[in-house]
């Protein structure tokens, strides 16, 4: 094995010799200022995510969690639930009504391929979702209807009309405290 002789050049001022420079291609995982304000659990979660990103250990092994936006309203004696499911077909969605809940679940699977001169790109996206919306007592689950149109799922479940008990609550103004030194 050949020997290498290392010598220290004294041409730079001593102050500059103490400055460390990151090696080429290295970027710190966390900006130093962020570390001091993080809880230990958030720090560990961030560290784990960075390690997974760096080593690619999770790539393609898990399906991502996807929660579609859902609106719930009462309209003309029915509980109407609208869910945004862009690009999904009715075969990819399951709607189920139990005694006390409306369950919407499904999975989206998308693949996109591109072939151009010199490169091939293939992207895959998977995501499962599960939403459970509580139903009021007396809901007529046997009369539920669902329709999927242009990426919007609308589920209607007849519910008994409920008398709304409400009262206005007066708002009190907080008392200002006077400092002891005043």
CB proximity list for 54: less than 8 A, separation 6 or greater? 29
Q: How far apart are the C-alpha atoms of 120 and 174, rounded to whole Å?
A: 66
Per-residue pLDDT, 63: 46
pLDDT range class, residue 33, cuts 50, 70, 90: low
In this prediction, residue 79 carries a pLDDT of: 93
**What is the pLDDT at residue 32?**
54
Check pLDDT > 70 for residue 67.
yes
Q: SS3 for 46?
A: helix
What would the pLDDT profile of 23-32 be if each residue is shown by its tens digit? Answer: 444 455 555 5
Least Cα distance to 140 among 122, 116, 158, 153 occurs for: 158
Q: Are 102 and 144 in contact (CB under 8 A)?
A: yes
Strand order in the sheet with 119-134: 64-65, 119-134, 101-116, 93-97
- Structure tokens of 159? 């519910």
Whether domain 64-158 has CATH 2.60.40.790: yes
Residues in Cβ contact with 112 at an 8 Å cutoff, skipping those fewer than 6 apart: 121, 122, 123, 124
- What is the bridge-based pairing of β-strands 101-116 and 93-97? antiparallel
pLDDT of residue 168: 92
CA angle 149, 67, 122 (to 5 degrees): 85
**Side-by-side strand order, sheet with 152-158:** 70-75, 78-84, 152-158, 145-149
pLDDT in tens, 128-182: 889 999 998 889 999 999 999 999 999 999 998 877 788 999 999 887 766 666 5
pLDDT at position 1 over 60: no
pLDDT of 78 > 80? The answer is yes
Task: Give the pLDDT mean for 123-131.
Answer: 82
């Amino acid at each position: 094995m050949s020997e290498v002789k290392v010598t220290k050049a004294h041409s730079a001022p001593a102050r500059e010799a103490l400055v460390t420079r990151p090696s080429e291609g290295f970027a710190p995982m966390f900006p130093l200022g962020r570390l001091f304000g993080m809880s230990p659990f958030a720090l560990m979660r961030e560290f784990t995510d960075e390690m997974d990103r760096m080593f690619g250990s999770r790539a393609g092994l898990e399906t991502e969690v996807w929660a579609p936006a859902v609106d719930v309203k009462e309209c003309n004696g029915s509980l109407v639930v609208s869910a945004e499911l862009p690009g999904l077909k009715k075969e990819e969605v399951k709607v189920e009504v139990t005694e006390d809940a409306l369950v919407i679940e499904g999975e989206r699977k998308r693949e996109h391929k591109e072939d151009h001169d010199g490169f091939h790109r293939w992207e895959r996206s998977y995501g499962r979702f599960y939403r459970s919306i509580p139903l009021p007592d007396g809901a007529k689950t046997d009369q539920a209807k669902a329709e999927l149109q242009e990426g919007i799922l609308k589920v209607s479940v007849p519910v008994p009309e409920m008398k709304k008990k409400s009262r206005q609550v007066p708002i009190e103004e907080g008392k200002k405290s006077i400092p002891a030194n005043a």
